[in-house]
Every structure is written in structure tokens, then in C-alpha cells.
Amino acid sequence: MVLSLQELAQRFGAVCPVETTGELCDVASLEVAQSRHVAFAETKKQIPALLKSQAGAVFIRQDVADLVQEPCPPLLVVASPQKSFIEAMLLFRPQPERRPAGIAPSAHVDPTAQLGSDCIVHPGAVIGRDVKIGERCEIGPGAVIGDGCVLGDDCLLYAYVVLYPGMQLKNRIIIHATAVIGADGFGYHFENGRFLKIPHTGTVVIEDDVEIGAGATIDRGMIEATIIGTGTKLDNQVMIAHNCRIGRGNVFASQVGLAGSVTTGEYVQMGGKVGIADHCHIATGVKLGGSAGVMSDLLVPGTYHDIPAIPEKDALKNHVNIRRVPEMRKEIKDLGRQLAELQAQLQQLAAGKTPESAECA
């Protein structure tokens, strides 16, 4: 699709003060955009990049546009630049049409399984006994859905996703390739010099509108369910251990790891490689910076960093102090030398000698 700047502005209800005959056919970031690309600038921090950009048009908020005083690409003033940019991206790069519903000949679907209308089952997929799948679901190549699993409507399982028996997925769930849902938790009992496996007979419940990244793993509960709350988004290679209960709208970046029985409130955010010790509770509104380590409950909303995790203000002070360590070591050595000299002088005074007489002797 090719659109003029005016056509694009009209389609998005954007204010466009510049008259131009340029044509637009794709999207790009500010830094690499050329004359036929649309880009976006969300904050005033992007103004330097905007001034250098070769984009044919840039979505921008009015308050940011008001700060631009130098020549720049044509600006399309909208309420949400990122939202408009995403819509333009899908306009210029239409997604592949959904393939026709049906079950591939090489897929194995147990006769007792129930599939809703308009489902797609790709080659090599395996659907076990007594599985119930809602409408408009898509099961990717090589995916395995164990016996007794229940899926709601509009679920999408990419290639080689594995659902162990008895998993429960609600509606509009996206699970990316090779994720594993419902493996046994890492639970063992030490007896007579051996680690004996603790059976896990619980399940995993994934609420509506959850997205789970590639290679992520969520273990089943030992007795009850491991729960992933509505609207939560888990990045690639996230690990959720047995008995965890994740609240609504949580967002975890790659390689976050939660030990057993962790619970979270709503809208908790975790940066990459955050680790949470077992049985900790993370309150609503807590944000954890990358690689933070949580050893005990965090009950006050706010941003935390470091190991063990502490409030951001304290963590920043610690980082500043760490940078001063070389300087402080020198100061301590200097003070040590001065102290040694003073102690020597005091010993001489205690012996009835002045420093001068001691030197003469």
C-alpha cells in the first residue's frame, strides 16, 4: 500500500500542517527512516533524533511538537504516537491471512477430544484424551496437548508447545514456541541419603489474555494450582515454579525466575534476570530492576534494585558510594599512616621524650 502524507493524516485523524506530495509505503525507527517511511517520537528526549531523521513523516504528540523549533520531517500530531505507528505498521505490513480451519492429516487427535468451531490443528500436533478446546483456536506444528486439558476460545499455541495433562487455559491465550506448561515442580524430600521425588498432582490455570514467551516454563502445583493472572505477559525463558500465584497484569522480562509458592499482586513488573526466593510475596505496583534478587516480602509499592532488593533511592546511593571506593581506600591508607605517626609521638611523650630529643638521641 502507498499513501500520500495527506491520505495518511486523514486516515489517522492527524493534524498535518505541512503540504507535501511525498508518498509513504512503510514504517521505520527515527534513526533509519528514509523519505518513504513513517516513524514516531513519543517524548522530548527523542527530539535530537527527530531533527536528524530522514523520515517522510513522524507521528508525535502536540506537547512534544511544540518543543521542536528547528526544521524536521513532516509531523503528524496524534494523541498516541506509538499506537498510531503500530496501526500504520499493520497497514503497510498486513499480517498473513488465517489459514482455513481444519485438522492436518498428520496431526493426531484422540477420538474423545472435543474441538470447537473454526479451529486449526497443524501437522504433527498431538491432542490427547478428553481434551476440550474452544472456538477459533490454533494448535501449531508439533504441539502436544496432554489428556484432560481445557482451552477456552481464541487460544494460539505455536510450534512444539507442550501442555502436560490437566492444564487449564482460559480465553485469548498466546503461548510461543517450545514453552512447557505443567511440568512437575522441583520438589524432593531428603531421606536416608537420597532425594525422593515429591508427587505433584495440582495443575496450572492460565487466565484470560495471557501471553507466554518462547521457551518459558510454568510448573504445576503440588496440591492446588499454579495460577497466572489475567492480562499477565511473560517474556521468553521465564521460569515460574510450582504453587506460584501471579496477579493480574504482571509483566516479566526474559529470564525472570520465581521459586516455589511466590505470590504477586497486580501490575508487578520485573526486569530481566530478576530472581525471587520461595514463599515471598510481591505487592501490587512493585517494580524490580534487572538482576534484582528478592529474599523476603516486598509489601510497599515502588521500584527496587540490587541483591537483596532495596528501594531505588537507596540503591542509587550505594552505587555512588561504590564508585568512591578507590578514593576512600586511599583516604583510609593516608589516615592510617597519620595515625601511626601520632601513636609513635604519643609513645615518645609517654617515655618523657619530645620528638626532637628522640631524633637527637
Residue whose C-alpha cell reads 510475596 in the numeric block: 281
pLDDT in tens, 228-255: 999 999 999 999 999 999 999 999 999 9
Residues in CB range of 8: below 8 A, 6 or more apart = 14, 24, 38, 57, 76, 88
- Categorize the per-residue pLDDT at 44 as very low, low, confident or very high, splitting at 50, 70 and 90: very high
Write down the catalytic residue from 122, 176, 200, 242: 242
DSSP symbol at 211: E
Q: What is the mean pLDDT of residues 86-95?
A: 95
Measured CA to CA, the distance from residue 331 to residue 11 in angstroms comes to 66
Residues in CB range of 259: below 8 A, 6 or more apart = 241, 275, 276, 277, 278, 279, 280
- Categorize the per-residue pLDDT at 19 as very low, low, confident or very high, splitting at 50, 70 and 90: low
pLDDT in tens, 283-313: 999 999 999 999 999 999 999 999 999 999 9
- Categorize the per-residue pLDDT at 355 as very low, low, confident or very high, splitting at 50, 70 and 90: low
Mean pLDDT lowest among 89-98, 148-157, 213-222, 298-307: 89-98
The amino acid at residue 43 is T
Measured CA to CA, the distance from residue 316 to residue 35 in angstroms comes to 42
Choice between 318 and 286, residue whose per-residue pLDDT is larger: 286
- Categorize the per-residue pLDDT at 98 as very low, low, confident or very high, splitting at 50, 70 and 90: confident
Average pLDDT, the chain: 94
Write down the pLDDT at residue 351. Answer: 85
Q: What is the mean pLDDT of residues 15-30?
A: 83
Cβ contact 263:241 at 8 Å: no
Burial class (CB in 10 A: 0-12, 13-18, 19+), 167: buried
Write down the pLDDT at residue 20. Answer: 67
242 is an active site residue: yes
Alpha-carbon 300 to chain mean position: 21
Q: What is the mean pLDDT of residues 77-106?
A: 94
Cβ contact 264:282 at 8 Å: yes
Q: What are phi and psi of 264, to 5 degrees?
A: -135, 155
In sign, the C-alpha dihedral spanning 94, 96, 98, 99 is positive
Write down the pLDDT at residue 17. Answer: 63
Alpha-carbon 162 to chain mean position: 21
**pLDDT at position 186 over 90:** yes
> 3-class DSSP state for residue 194?
strand
**Whole-model pTM?**
0.86
**pLDDT at position 51 over 60:** yes
**pLDDT at position 166 over 70:** yes
Write down the pLDDT at residue 357. Answer: 56
Assess whether the previous peptide bond of 17 is cis (omega < 30° from 0): no
